[in-house]
């Protein structure tokens, strides 16, 4: 069974840090570094799309000190991304509500988006201050603001108003860390996505585990509500 679009909920950074007797921020740092390893693995495995949950609309509920570190880490990650664009063929896009971010973060997001827009490699989508419900509500508001004349709208039309309107729905979602929930991620997009929940914390997730997930995925039969 073909796998083109992989989505990942990168969970378990803080628990990984506690298990290794480290402060929580070291788990986030290790997790950010691991994302680059997985991006490289995805390129080698010739997947076409990778979508990762970087920061949710609910993550603002964390302590001010943790938020401050996460924003610092985000800035560093964006700097690394800018430096890597010329050496790689991947196209990077961002989804979410960027209004709460400082000007520097917004500028870097724009630079990365524009600089990589014509690249033909794997399409990497980074969900920042993203929520699935926010995405759906935003789509509805766009429809209302546009004053759509018809009272009816189908799924194909609705998708055109979502943040992932330009890419196909994920084939496979992997959540690390052992938790078995979607946590408000890609609620519209995941309707018929195959789901896998692995025990390994995100900093320990690697190419070997990814390949095992892909083997498991290949064994499944996606019926889309049919009988086959």
Find the CATH number of the domain harbouring 78: 3.40.1180.10
User: Which residues make Cβ contacts (< 8 Å) with residue 222, sequence separation at least 6?
Assistant: 1, 171, 192, 194
**Number of domains, the chain:** 1
Task: Identify whether 33 is a catalytic site residue.
Answer: no
DSSP track, 121-153: S-EEEEEEEE-HHHHHHHHHHHHHHTT-SSS--
Quick check: is 139 in a domain? yes
Quick check: is 165 in a domain? yes
Quick check: is 225 in a domain? no
Sheet-wide strand order for 49-56 = 91-95, 123-130, 49-56, 5-9, 172-175, 194-197
Quick check: is 208 in a domain? yes
Q: Which of 4, 40, 59, 97 is labelled catalytic?
A: 59
Cα four-point dihedral sign 159, 163, 169, 173: negative
Quick check: is 227 in a domain? no
Residue 47 has a pLDDT of 97
Q: Are 96 and 127 in contact (CB under 8 A)?
A: yes
Q: Which of 11, 171, 189, 204 is labelled catalytic?
A: 11
Quick check: is 30 in a domain? yes
Residue 225 has a pLDDT of 73
The pLDDT tens digits along the chain (228 residues) read 899 999 999 999 999 999 999 999 899 999 999 999 999 999 999 999 999 999 999 999 998 999 999 999 999 999 999 999 888 899 999 999 999 999 999 999 999 999 999 999 999 999 999 999 999 999 999 988 887 666 788 999 999 999 999 999 999 999 999 999 999 999 999 999 999 999 999 999 999 999 999 999 999 988 777 666
Cα separation, 68 vs 86, whole angstroms: 29
Quick check: is 68 in a domain? yes
Quick check: is 34 in a domain? yes
Residue 111 domain boundaries:
5-219
Residue 148 has a pLDDT of 62
Residue 146 has a pLDDT of 80
Residue 227 has a pLDDT of 62
Task: Identify whether 59 is a catalytic site residue.
Answer: yes
């Amino acid at each position: 069974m073909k796998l083109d679009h992989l989505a990942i909920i990168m969970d378990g950074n803080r628990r990984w840090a506690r298990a290794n007797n480290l402060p929580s921020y070291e788990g986030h740092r290790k997790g950010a570094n691991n994302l680059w390893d997985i991006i490289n693995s995805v390129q080698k495995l010739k997947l076409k799309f990778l979508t990762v949950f970087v920061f949710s609309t609910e993550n603002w509920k964390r302590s001010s000190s943790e938020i401050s570190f996460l924003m610092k880490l985000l800035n560093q990650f964006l700097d690394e991304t800018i430096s890597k664009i010329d050496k790689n063929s991947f196209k990077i896009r961002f989804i979410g509500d960027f209004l709460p971010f400082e000007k520097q973060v917004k500028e870097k997001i724009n630079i990365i988006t524009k600089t990589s827009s014509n690249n033909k490699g794997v399409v990497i989508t980074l969900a920042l201050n993203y929520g699935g419900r926010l995405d759906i509500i935003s789509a509805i508001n766009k429809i209302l603001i546009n004053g759509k004349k018809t009272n009816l709208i189908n799924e194909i039309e609705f998708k055109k108003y979502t943040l992932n309107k330009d890419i196909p729905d994920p084939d496979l979602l992997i959540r690390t860390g052992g938790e078995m929930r979607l946590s408000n991620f890609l609620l519209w997009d995941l309707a018929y996505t195959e789901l896998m929940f692995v025990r390994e914390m995100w900093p320990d997730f690697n190419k070997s585990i990814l390949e095992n997930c892909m083997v498991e995925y290949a064994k499944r039969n996606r019926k889309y509500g049919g009988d086959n």
